[in-house]
Amino acid sequence: MLEEGQGRYSLARGKTILFVRLLGTRTSIRFTARDRVVFRIEPLSLTVEDRRTHGIRNTFPWDRIESVAAGELESENSDLFQG
């Protein structure tokens, strides 16, 4: 991840993916570099913002998040990645 300042981070170019898994769910929410989002790490939540407009797309309270992972997929049709 690249720091953009003021607590905002973006995904590096290429195939970098950020997975957010919420408590009680079987699947993860995926964000890619192509989504053109930035992530704000705050004391109470992880906020996903549109890179251009700075509008909030999602806010995930930390107490609802099971895990967060970032890396590059090992292959196109797999959830295995190098993080």
CB count in 10 Å sphere of residue 48: 19
Separation of alpha carbons 71 and 24, rounded Å: 23
Query: Residue 57 belongs to what domain range?
Result: 2-73
* Assigned domain for 42 exists: yes
Contacts by 44-49 with C-beta closer than 8 Å and gap 24+? 46/20, 49/8
Residue 25's pLDDT is: 94
* Assigned domain for 80 exists: no
Tens-place pLDDT, residues 54-82: 999 999 999 999 999 988 877 666 655 55
User: How much of the chain exceeds pLDDT 90, in percent?
Assistant: 59
pTM of the model: 0.81
Sheet holding 16-22, edge to edge: 29-32, 16-22, 65-73, 81-82
Q: What is the mean pLDDT of the chain?
A: 88
* Assigned domain for 41 exists: yes
Number of domains in the chain: 1
What average pLDDT does the segment 5-32 reach? 89
* Assigned domain for 83 exists: no
